[in-house]
Amino acid sequence: TQALANVTYGPEGLAMMASGLSAEQTLEKLLAGDPNHAHRQIGLADKNGGATAHTGGECNGWAGHKIGKGYTCQGNILTGGNTLEAMAEAFETTKGELADRLVAALLAGDTVGGDSRGKQAAAVYVVKPNGGYGGNNEYYLDLRVDDDPDPVNRLVKLVKLHHFFFGTPKAEDLLPIDSKIATEIQTVLKRLGYFRGNIDGQWDETTRAAFWAFCGVENLEERWSPDKHPELLDRVVLEFIRERFAQQ
C-alpha cells in the first residue's frame, strides 16, 4: 500500500487472503471499510495467481497501476505511465527467482523515469516457507537501501550478495577438490593463519578443518561444510577465494 498509505491493508489483506478470499474480494472489503480510499493506492496478488490493484482518484499524479498475471505494479508522483510499462516488461521477461525479477522491475522503472521527485530509497522483501537462514524461518530476503543517491543499483548489488552468501551450491557448479585446488586453498589458508601444516595438496582432515574455520569467518557455511559433499567445492566459492584472497 502506498500514496496516503493505510498500513493496516497489509496485515488485514494477508489475513483475508489466507482465509480463502481472492485478491479481488480482499480489495473490495478493504476499500469498503476505508472512508479515505480515494487517497489510497494498493496492489494485491493471491496464491492462485490472481492480482488486482486500486489507485484512488485523489492520489498525486502521475498515478496508476498495471496488472499482469500474478503481479501488479503501481506508483504515484511518477514521471509517467512508461515507468509502469517498463517495470511490467522487466518483471515478465527477467530470468531468475522472484527477488531478481522484482529488482529488475525496479531498475527498469527507475531507468525510464521513476519517481518525479528523484531517488532516495529502495527495498525488496521476499518470504517463503523455511526460506530464512538455516531454514528456520520464512524471511528469505529482506534488503533495503536508505538515503542513497543511487538506491536501486545498490539494491541490485545487495541481492547478488545475498544469493552468494545465503544460496546453496548448484549441482553443476560442484568441483572435485583435486590436488591442484587443495594446494591453492592450503596456500591461502596458511597465509591467513588458518592452516599450519605443509602445503602438500592433500585434502585431509586437517585441511578441511582449517577450511571450515575459514568458511565460518567468511559466512560461507551455506556453500560448504564438512558434513555435505566435503570432497567437492562450489565453483563460485573458488572464484570468491581467488578474487579476494589469492593475491594478498
Q: What is the pLDDT along the chain (248 residues), one digit of tens a residue?
A: 999 999 999 999 999 999 999 999 999 999 999 999 999 999 999 999 999 999 999 999 999 999 999 999 999 999 999 999 999 999 999 999 999 999 999 999 999 999 999 999 999 999 999 998 878 899 999 999 999 999 999 999 999 999 999 888 999 999 999 999 999 999 999 999 999 999 999 999 999 999 999 999 999 999 999 998 999 999 999 999 999 997 65
User: CATH number for the domain including 25?
Assistant: 3.60.20.10
Question: Which residue do the cell numbers 488485514 mark?
Answer: 12
**Amino acid 247: pLDDT:** 66
212 preceded by a cis bond (ω within 30 of 0):
no
Is residue 138 within 8 A of residue 131, CB to CB? The reply is: yes
**Amino acid 154: pLDDT:** 97
**Amino acid 129: pLDDT:** 94
Domains of the chain: total: 3
190-236 pLDDT per residue, tens: 999 999 999 999 999 999 999 999 999 999 999 999 998 999 999 99
Is the domain of 146 the same as that of 215?
Answer: no
Is the domain of 68 the same as that of 130?
Answer: no
Cα 138 to its chain centre, rounded Å, is 13
Q: Which of 115, 143, 167 is the last residue of a domain?
A: 167
Is the domain of 104 the same as that of 124?
Answer: yes
- For residue 177, report the phi and psi dihedrals to the nearest 5 degrees: -85, 90
Domain that holds residue 211: 171-244
Is the domain of 159 the same as that of 203?
Answer: no
**Amino acid 248: pLDDT:** 53
Is the domain of 55 the same as that of 103?
Answer: no
d(CA 52, CA 65) in angstroms, rounded, equals 9
**Amino acid 135: pLDDT:** 85
The pTM of this model reads 0.84
Is the domain of 208 the same as that of 163?
Answer: no
d(CA 101, CA 92) in angstroms, rounded, equals 8
**Amino acid 14: pLDDT:** 97
From residue 242, how far is each of 31, 46, 103, 205, 237 by CA, in Å?
Answer: 55, 44, 28, 22, 9
Is the domain of 69 the same as that of 6?
Answer: yes
